[in-house]
Amino acid sequence: MSAHLNVIVEGCCHGELDNIYASVAEVERRRGVKVDLVLCCGDFQSLRAEQDYEALAVPPKYRELKDFRKYWSGEKVAPVLTIFVGGNHEASNFLGSLFYGGWVAPNIYYLGAAGCVNVGGWRLAGASGIWHKRHYQLNHYELRADRVDVRDSVRSAYHVREVDVFRLALLGERTVDAVVSHDWPRGVEQFGDAIGLARKKPHFRDEIAANDLGSPANEILLNALKPAHWFSAHLHCKFAALVDFKDGKAPTRFLALDKCLPRRDFLQLITVERPKAGKVELEYDAEWLAILVKTHALLGFEPPPQRAPPIPETFSRPSSSDIASARTKAEAYCRSTGAPENAPLRVPPLTGPPWHPCRDRYNPLKEANPQTDALLKMLGLKHVVTVPVTAQMRPCPPCKPLASTSAHAAAFAAVKPIASPSSPPPPPRAELVLPPPTESSGVSTPPPPSPPKRSELVLPPPVNTSAAAAAAAAPAAPAPAVPTAAQPAPAIPTAPPAAPPATLAAPALTVSEINKMTVQKLKVALTQRGLETSGLKVALKQRLLDAVAL
Ligand SMILES: [Zn+2]
Ligand SMILES: [Zn+2]
């Protein structure tokens, strides 16, 4: 029996959760509907505390905690199930620790670097990050590295990797209902009003003319998955297109939305069919779990210049028995966490206090998460790009179970004197932009001036259930020189070197004070503490932050 799902798609979030949920409530009131799901297309900014600023790629003057910390600490609860992908403004330490996806707060779920889940049976895939050619074939090394240059790794951390695109492109057991990404698939504007877009955003003109607007990785995925819907953000404007694949398959409805600001088109309500009636539950996708298992050997953690293990030229999608095996493992785990009968793969809800382990001294992006440990254990996989939670990883002072952010701030202040951040003026109330009565689909579809360059990635045909049964009867063709899941995971590097002792005779400083210091003042402060004063400004600052964190 089918049912419906009311989904609100939101463009860039940029930490404005209060305004977004207020707008969702307004849509519910005006339209007389109950919203089942809020989908955020990145730049979510899941910042828990000032400590997370180090993992956020914005100039210091734009650093602001905004609303997420209230939802993370338990002071507020997201009123609607919220799912998001990462963009280029993220707490990359926190999101990196949830590489395979997970809850960042009660009712707020991150899809991981790449991921696929089912919401009430509606199949949703997500591709986090943005495109950058230079980092596409690197490993996800940022979180595992013993020591990183933060200036580089804080940016490369959100650049999309080939292995994630390959994994998503393997989804083929059944149609993907929607894909959410931060940047647009390259060339998608050619299927909508590209001329109007160029008029509205003149600085896109050259990229449109050169077929260079958007992400080539997402273009690969769009052509591989041909989902019913594709949602994006990043370019901070609303744009709709109807992508015709000219192969008889149903077109993809593409919709990009703006960021959450007054008088901007940042929200859209859509109503979609879902195959499952009853309570809307978030569930793992068995085929996706099988893909994670089958492609695990394609993950590497070695930093550049080392490149990621090559994507094999031929690679079989998971067979029906691979998928059944992943489903069995996941069902056993989910049942043990109380999954209901009608949703045996329900993602276990978040338990325990807000998670915020101590910052790693040499790599502020290195962070572990118990949810990642649990998922890898469920699938029988080892950590490769992530690290396990250890006993030494005691929560840092502000992360004890706390009822509110004010209590959180008080605990933080009690441990080390930190200036309570001067409360910023309340953000302007986002003006509700009501969607049109029916979903916008009347977009013009001019033929593209030249066919966009297609990907070199050649995928085998999808395995559907009946084809899989036939394939299971036939002997599988050997795939030469293809890494398999049976291959051992790359060796784990040794533990980071022990921290050098530092003295703290001088008065304590706050992180925000350190961030505002000039080079000269940094040198004075380091001298007062008996610390080395030579080196680049960033390194100086890091030394002082390390000393203060003691
Ligand atoms: Zn962005
Ligand atoms: Zn944005």
HEC secondary structure over 60-111: HHHCCCCCHHHHHHCCCCCCCCEEECCCCCCCHHHHHHCCCCEEEECCEEEC
- CA of 503 from ligand 2 middle (Å) equals 41
**Strand bridging mode 267-274 / 239-243:** unpaired
AA letter at 550: L
- CA of 166 from ligand 1 middle (Å) equals 22
Positive or negative torsion for Cα 93, 158, 171, 301:
negative
- CA of 260 from ligand 2 middle (Å) equals 9
- CA of 6 from ligand 2 middle (Å) equals 24
Question: In the structure, what pLDDT confidence band is assigned to residue 147 with cuts at 50, 70 and 90?
Answer: confident
- CB contact at 8 A, 104 and 81: no
- CA of 237 from ligand 1 middle (Å) equals 11
In 3D space, the residue among 358, 345, 346 whose CA is nearest the CA of residue 387 turns out to be 358
pLDDT at position 397 is: 55
Map out the domains of the chain as residue ranges: 3-408+426-473, 502-550
- CA of 346 from ligand 1 middle (Å) equals 30
- CA of 145 from ligand 2 middle (Å) equals 28
142 vs 90: CA distance, rounded Å: 14
- CB contact at 8 A, 240 and 192: yes
pLDDT at position 525 is: 72
Query: How far apart, in Å, are the Cα atoms of 189 and each of 179, 223, 409, 500, 539?
Result: 17, 15, 45, 54, 43
Helix, strand, coil share of the chain (percent; to 5): 30, 15, 55
Ligand nearest to the CA of 184: 1
Per residue in 197-254, pLDDT tens?
A: 999 999 999 999 999 999 999 999 999 999 999 999 999 999 999 999 999 999 999 9
Instruction: Average the pLDDT over 465-491 and give the result.
Output: 35
As a whole-number percent, the residues of the chain with pLDDT over 90 amount to 64
- CA of 300 from ligand 2 middle (Å) equals 29
366 vs 345: CA distance, rounded Å: 29
pLDDT at position 151 is: 83
495, pLDDT greater than 60: no
pLDDT at position 6 is: 98
473, pLDDT greater than 60: no
- CA of 72 from ligand 2 middle (Å) equals 21
- CA of 181 from ligand 1 middle (Å) equals 10
Instruction: Average the pLDDT over 461-483 and give the result.
Output: 37
pLDDT at position 29 is: 97
Q: Which residues, by Cβ under 5 Å, contact ligand 2, an ion?
A: 12, 43, 259
Per residue in 329-340, pLDDT tens?
A: 999 999 999 999
Instruction: Average the pLDDT over 460-484 and give the result.
Output: 37
Task: Look up residue 281 and give its two tokens.
Answer: 């539950």
Per residue in 340-351, pLDDT tens?
A: 999 999 999 998
Q: What is the CATH number of domain 3-408+426-473?
A: 3.60.21.10
- CA of 234 from ligand 2 middle (Å) equals 5
pTM: 0.75
Question: In the structure, what pLDDT confidence band is assigned to residue 516 with cuts at 50, 70 and 90?
Answer: low
Ligand nearest to the CA of 258: 2
- CA of 217 from ligand 1 middle (Å) equals 16
Query: What is the residue-averaged pLDDT of the chain?
Result: 81
- CA of 89 from ligand 2 middle (Å) equals 7
240 vs 435: CA distance, rounded Å: 13
94, pLDDT greater than 60: yes
- CA of 256 from ligand 1 middle (Å) equals 12
Instruction: Average the pLDDT over 291-309 and give the result.
Output: 96
458, pLDDT greater than 70: no
121 vs 227: CA distance, rounded Å: 15
pLDDT at position 503 is: 32
34, pLDDT greater than 50: yes
Query: How far apart, in Å, are the Cα atoms of 79 and each of 76, 85, 121?
Result: 9, 19, 21
- CA of 102 from ligand 2 middle (Å) equals 22
Per residue in 391-429, pLDDT tens?
A: 777 655 554 433 344 444 444 444 333 233 333 333 333
Looking up tokens 């070695």 gives 302
pLDDT at position 535 is: 55
Instruction: Average the pLDDT over 24-46 and give the result.
Output: 97
- CA of 41 from ligand 1 middle (Å) equals 9
Beta-sheet strand order (sheet of 122-127): 239-243, 252-256, 229-232, 178-181, 122-127, 114-119, 282-284
- CA of 502 from ligand 1 middle (Å) equals 39
- CA of 530 from ligand 1 middle (Å) equals 41
Reported as type and span, the H/E element at residue 519 is helix 519-528
pLDDT at position 540 is: 58
pLDDT at position 463 is: 42
pLDDT at position 359 is: 82
From the centroid of its chain, how far is CA 279? Answer: 25
Greater pLDDT, 333 or 467: 333
Per residue in 517-527, pLDDT tens?
A: 766 676 777 66
Ligand nearest to the CA of 16: 2
pLDDT at position 494 is: 32
- CB contact at 8 A, 89 and 128: no
Instruction: Average the pLDDT over 144-148 and give the result.
Output: 85
Show Cβ contacts of residue 211 under 8 Å, excluding neighbours closer than 6 positions: 186, 187, 190, 450, 452, 453
215 vs 225: CA distance, rounded Å: 15
- CA of 337 from ligand 2 middle (Å) equals 36
- CA of 282 from ligand 1 middle (Å) equals 26
Ligand nearest to the CA of 128: 1
- Using DSSP, state whether 305 is helix, strand or coil: coil
If one counts every other C-beta atom within 10 angstroms of the C-beta of residue 501, the result is 7
- CA of 204 from ligand 2 middle (Å) equals 16
Ligand nearest to the CA of 11: 2
- CA of 368 from ligand 1 middle (Å) equals 25
pLDDT at position 472 is: 36
Phi-psi group of 528: left, alpha or beta (phi > 0 → left; psi -120 to 50 → alpha; rest → beta): alpha
- CA of 56 from ligand 1 middle (Å) equals 12
Task: Look up residue 346 and give its two tokens.
Answer: 């329900």
504, pLDDT greater than 80: no
444, pLDDT greater than 50: no
299 vs 303: CA distance, rounded Å: 12
Ligand nearest to the CA of 57: 1
87, pLDDT greater than 60: yes
Query: How far apart, in Å, are the Cα atoms of 422 and each of 64, 70, 518?
Result: 10, 16, 21
Ligand nearest to the CA of 260: 2
pLDDT at position 44 is: 97
Greater pLDDT, 467 or 254: 254
